[in-house]
A and B are shown apart, each in its own frame.
Chain A
Amino acid sequence: MTAAPTAYDKAATDATRGVAVELTGLHRSYGPVQALDDLNLRLAPGELVALLGPSGCGKTTALRCLAGLEDPDSGRIEVGGLDLTRVPTNKRDLGMVFQAYSLFPHMTARQNVEFGLQLRRQSSQQRRARAAEMLDLVGLSTQADRFAHQMSGGQQQRVALARALAIEPQVLLLDEPLSALDAKVRVQLRDEIRRIQLEVGTTTLFVTHDQEEALAVADRVGVMRSGRLEQIAAPEELYSRPVNDFVADFVGVTNRLPGDADAKSATVLGGSVPLLVGSATSGPVTVLVRPEHLVVHADPNGPDAVTSVSFLGAHGRVIVGLAAGGQAIVQVPSSAVSNYPPGTRVTVRPTGEAALAVSART
């Protein structure tokens, strides 16, 4: 019997260019702080993996170790089958885009893109052609002669991306490249990064603390905590089948509702919810239910009451005070938000989607 193909296998099969990356048993500590604790991570050729986690979880350290900007205390870094653990940064053939604006201020956009090519001793004609191609790829061919201070933050990060890709790196490393940008530009550039990555097929590691960003662009998302990978999976799987309450809590919004587990299901808010693999299976449990997996009905005799509502554009959220204690966040269509003014008596029920249950003590 063969195992079902994972997202990693799928990416490996789809890859047209790019190389495999493997981090094995990486450890890195700063004094008493363990930034990486036995980190194991594989990237298939051409795959885009996002590392997600709270501040200090070690995601940037992992990326910097791969870039050679930090030395791991122990462990092994392989790119394209070659051991790069002790190879200096400038010999690793990696492209990197930083969180801070990193264009060389004394150079124009074109000169910035040509910098890496110049170091590779390409002729000025080749450099110019490649720089023009890359600036065109990021939609900035008209800004080639501008200096960094003459460009917006989004444009600067685009040029930085063009500069990193111009050298045709084996691996592209993105260290929170969008975090300094405003919301609208962030979404545009995020989609552009994905488009370009798919176009050039470079294996990419993307570090971010923004879950929406990670879920939107990555083939797989790894959630990190205290220097370890808690779960790495395709975005849909990570969202719908988190392996523990940390991942469930960190990715998306989660209701922690009291329930009673009985083997493969649990009773929550008077309804039955199938339990995901890894759930606690007996006794009182806390069931982690997504807002869209709950329904709310106006019911004059209902046990619960709406405490507040919020309109979020495409949908709305109704926050309900539960008679059993605590509260539940329920997602409703935006057109229904006005049906639930605060104080409305309601009943809340699960839709029956599978959820993770953890022991009631945690």
Chain B
Amino acid sequence: MRRRQDLFRWVVVTLTLVFFGLPLFSMLEFTTRDSAGHRTAATWSALADFGVISTRYPDLRAGFLASVGLAVLTVVVMLVLLVPTMTWVRLRLPGLGRTVEFICLLPLTVPAIVLVVGLTPVYAWVTYFLGGNAIWLSFAYVVLVLPYAYRSLDAGLRAIDVRTLSEAARSLGASWTTVMLKVILPNLRTAVLSASFLAVALTLGEFTIASLFSRTNLQVAMYLIGKSDAQISIAVGLASLVFAFVILFAMSFVGGARSATSPLARLRRNRKELT
């Protein structure tokens, strides 16, 4: 019986690896062959040289920089908007909790294309006041990431007794800003990192809104380059996947490293005790 279970597990793991790994392997294979079918690293060495990319594929450079800027701004705006709001609602206006949840989850039910229709007049004003830079797409992206970020932060807030912690801090003389920065945020670290990662992943992969608003981000640039140079486009796609994975890994590592219960912290403690 146990042997059959083990076999089943291995089959599932293998199928999953094949399902996810095969396309990635195909992408790698496709980007490491020249037109004659010989193995070459030309595409990847071109991609590794930012100078070459900038000259040969200016759209890609612009798209990449725009996407990184968008990711950073989206994360910042999302956190500044959501963390204090959700904490405040939990502390002072618990009756509004359902409404805030409904509003935050609403974008999940609205397709991106419908969102664009709704946002078009808004962006006419954004362009009028702030210009046509792709970075301002972050306002739309904040709306897009709201449901995912809300869920992560909500789980984090549920895991701690926000009311008691903030009241304890207040009674010790902390202002609301101190309460947020020194008490609530450090205890929401994992939730904040998870919300940030989701926002970064969603921003780096977003195509529809940028394309329909005629802005160039990484995905739009990849699409444009794909029309003339499929190999570099696929290589960029693969690289962006690896990039997202590295960010995920780095975020979870950084998040866990400072936690008292993380394996790394335990290791450090044990070492300290031994010495």
Q: Which residues of A contact B (CB under 8 A)?
A: 67-69, 88-96, 98, 100-102, 104-106, 115-116, 119-120, 147, 149, 160, 163-164, 167, 173
Contacts and interface: CB of A to CB of B under 8 A. Distances in A.
Contacts of A98: 164, 167-168
Contacts of B182: 115
Give the residue among B168, B171, B260, B261 with the most A Cβ atoms within 10 A.
B171
B170 A90 contact: yes
Nearest to B258: A106
A106 B165 contact: no
B186 A106 contact: yes
A67 B171 contact: yes
B165 A90 contact: no
Contact of B178 (A68, A92, A119): A119
Contacts of A149: 260-261
Interface in B161-191: 161, 164-165, 167-175, 178, 182-183, 186-187, 189
Contacts of B171: 67, 69, 89-90, 92, 94-96, 164, 173
A88 B174 CA distance: 10
Interface in B190-235: none
Contact of A106 (B164, B168, B170, B260): B260
B160 interface: yes
Contacts of B168: 96, 98, 102, 104, 160, 163
Nearest to A104: B183
Nearest to A91: B173
B165 A102 contact: yes
A98 B168 CA distance: 8
Given A89-B171, A120-B173, A167-B172, A104 B165 contact: yes
B164 A115 contact: no
Interface in B252-275: 260-261
A120 B186 CA distance: 21
B136 to A, nearest CB: 36
A61 to B, nearest CB: 14
10 contacts: A89-B171, A90-B175, A95-B171, A98-B164, A102-B168, A104-B165, A119-B172, A119-B173, A119-B174, A120-B173
A129 B180 CA distance: 27
Interface in B78-137: none
A115 B169 contact: yes
B161 A104 contact: no
A199 to B, nearest CB: 21
Contacts of A100: 161, 164
Contact of A116 (B160, B173, B186): B173
Contact of A105 (B160, B173, B178): B160
Contacts of B187: 104-106
Contacts of B186: 104, 106
Given A98-B164, A100-B161, A100-B164, A115 B172 contact: yes
A116 B164 contact: no
A119 B178 CA distance: 9
Contacts of A106: 186-187, 189, 260
Contacts of A102: 161, 164-165, 167-168
Contacts of B164: 98, 100-102
A163 B168 CA distance: 10
Given A89-B171, A96-B171, 13 more contacts: A69-B171, A89-B170, A90-B172, A90-B174, A95-B172, A104-B168, A104-B169, A105-B160, A105-B187, A106-B186, A106-B189, A115-B169, A119-B172
Contact of B167 (A96, A104, A147): A96
A24 to B, nearest CB: 22
Contacts of A89: 167, 170-171
B173 A90 contact: yes
Nearest to A95: B171
B165 to A, nearest CB: 6
Interface in B20-49: none
Contact of A147 (B169, B174, B183, B260): B260
Contacts of A163: 168, 172
A91 to B, nearest CB: 8
Contacts of B175: 90
B161 A167 contact: no
Contacts of B189: 106
A108 to B, nearest CB: 8
Nearest to B175: A90
A301 B241 CA distance: 95
Closest 4 A/B residue pairs (Cβ)? A116-B172, A102-B168, A96-B171, A89-B170
Contacts of A147: 260
